[in-house]
Amino acid sequence: MFFPESTATHDSTGNLYPLRFSGAFSLELTLESGQFFQWGRSGDGFVVQSGPNVFYIEQRNHTLWYRGISGVIDPQWLRRFFRLDDNLAEIFREWAYEGVLQRTYERFAGLRILRQDPWECTLAFLCSMASNIPRITGNLQTLARRYGTTVASGGTGRYALLPGPDQLRAASLEDLYDAGLGFRARYIHGLVPKMGGEIDFISLAELPYEETGRLLTSVHGIGAKVADCIQLFALGNLEAFPIDTWIRKVLHTHYFSPEIRSTKRLAPMARDYFGSRAGYAQQYLFHGSRSGFIAVKEGTSSGVPGRG
C-alpha cells in the first residue's frame, strides 16, 4: 500500500464497489509500467493515491472493485484516472502494419496511459531523473510523510498524501537534500514558488502540445523528456512521446538510424511517425523493451551520456 503509516492491510469486511469497463484493461500492467509511483500492493489488489484520493482497488476479469480509503471515491473520477474510455483496439488499429508494435500490443493489451494529477506527476518525474523506480517511490514517500497531509482511515492504517505546492513551500533547499533528492532538490525547490503563477496546470491543460511544452521546459530542471511525461501521463496530450534511454534503444534498433542521436531530432520524428496518439506507442514500446519482450541493440543509447 502506498505511504502507509502502519502495516495494516485493508479491511476485508469492507464493501467493494464494482466498476465495469469495455475493452482490454490490466490494472497490474498499468500500475507497474513506470508511469506512476503512488501505489502499492495490498491483499489481492492495490492501494493507490492520487491527489486527495486514496483507495483500494482490485481487478477480477472485466470488473474493477474498489473502496475509498480517504473518503468516497467518485466512479467517474476513477474512469478518468484510468482512462477507461480510451478505445485501445481502435488506437492500435492505426499501427496494424507495425510488426514490433502490434506484437507488443497483443502481448500487453490492457496497459493504459493514466491521467494523473499534474502537480504530483511533475514531482515524480523531477525525482525520476537519473534515478530508478524504487528510489523514486522512496523519495515521494519521504516528501509525503514530511510535508503532506496524513489521512487516517478507521482501523485500516494511515496514509500520507503528497504535499501540494503550498505545503512544500515549508521545505528549505537543505530539507529537500535531506529528503534524499540529491541534485533534484534544487529543481523542486525552484519550481514551488512558480506554482500558480508562471506554471498553472489548470490553464496549461487548455493549451496545445507545443505551447505547453515551451512553458514546462522554461522551468529549471524540466527538459523535453520530463515535459513529455507530464503532458502524456497527466495532461492527456497523447501526442507526447517521452524519449528515455530505453525508448532511444528501441527507436535506434527498429525505427530510425542510430546516427540520429539527440532527443531534439528524434522526438519530432517519432511524433510524426506514430501520429496524434504516439504516446500510446511509446508506452508499449517502453514496457516491451524493459520487460525484454522487444529486443534492442546495446550501444545505441549514447546520446545521453551517463557520467564522465
Residues that bind DNA (CB under 7 A): 33-35, 128-135, 177, 180, 182-183, 217, 219-227, 229, 242-247, 261-265, 282-283, 286, 303-308
Q: Retrieve residue 53's grid coordinates.
A: 484520493
Q: Tell me the closest approach of the beta carbon of residue 267 to DNA, in angstroms.
A: 10
For the four alpha carbons of 57, 77, 79 and 285, in that order, the dihedral sign comes to negative
Separation between Cα atoms, residue 119 and residue 192, nearest integer Å: 10
Of 118, 112, 124, nearest to 206 by C-alpha is 118
With contact defined as beta carbons under 8 Å apart, do 73 and 66 qualify? yes
Q: Tell me the closest approach of the beta carbon of residue 175 to DNA, in angstroms.
A: 12
Q: Tell me the closest approach of the beta carbon of residue 251 to DNA, in angstroms.
A: 12
The nearer residue to DNA, 22 or 132, going by C-beta atoms, is 132
The nearer residue to DNA, 145 or 158, going by C-beta atoms, is 145
SS3 256: coil
Q: Tell me the closest approach of the beta carbon of residue 268 to DNA, in angstroms.
A: 10
Amino acid sitting at position 247: I
The nearer residue to DNA, 292 or 308, going by C-beta atoms, is 308
The nearer residue to DNA, 98 or 244, going by C-beta atoms, is 244
Q: Tell me the closest approach of the beta carbon of residue 114 to DNA, in angstroms.
A: 10
Of 230, 228, 225, 222, nearest to 240 by C-alpha is 228
- The torsion of the CA quartet 73, 238, 140, 179, rounded to 10 degrees, works out to -150
The nearer residue to DNA, 19 or 234, going by C-beta atoms, is 234
